[in-house]
Amino acid sequence: MGTTIGNVLLSYDVDKLHTQVKTELEDLGYLERFKKNNDTKTYTLPNTTLWHPKKSSNQAMIDLKTVCTNLKVTLEKAITVKATEFVGF
């Protein structure tokens, strides 16, 4: 469970340094924007939600925990899920 590689969605809450956590995850290839198929509009995810096109749910959680540990940030809650279809507003 959580080992399939593909689109993964990651959402989290931390106690501080929100911008730094997000920047570190973006440096690992996580994205805050996506486009729907056959659509020219770009959609932006909520502040502490990112996605990655080639990770497993397990790896995304490991990445998040590692970033938080390195920045000495408390990870309050998080979820990672395989995301096969994006719909945005």
CATH of the domain at 21: 3.30.70.2360
pLDDT digits (tens, 9 = 90+) for 46-59: 999 999 999 999 99
**Which run of H or E residues covers position 60?**
helix 57-71
Residue 34 within a domain = yes
* DSSP secondary structure code for residue 16 in this structure: S
CA quadruple 20, 53, 45, 75: dihedral sign: negative
What is the average pLDDT score of the chain? 92
More confident residue, 85 or 77: 77
Return the pLDDT at 72: 98
Residue 29 is assigned to a structural domain of this protein: yes
> How many domains, in total, are found in the chain?
1
Residue 87 counted as domain residue: no
In a domain, 55, yes or no: yes
pLDDT exceeds cutoff 80 at 37: no
64 pLDDT band, cuts 50/70/90, is: very high
Whole-prediction pTM value? Answer: 0.90
| Domain housing 29 | 6-82
Whether 43 has a pLDDT exceeding 90, the answer reads no
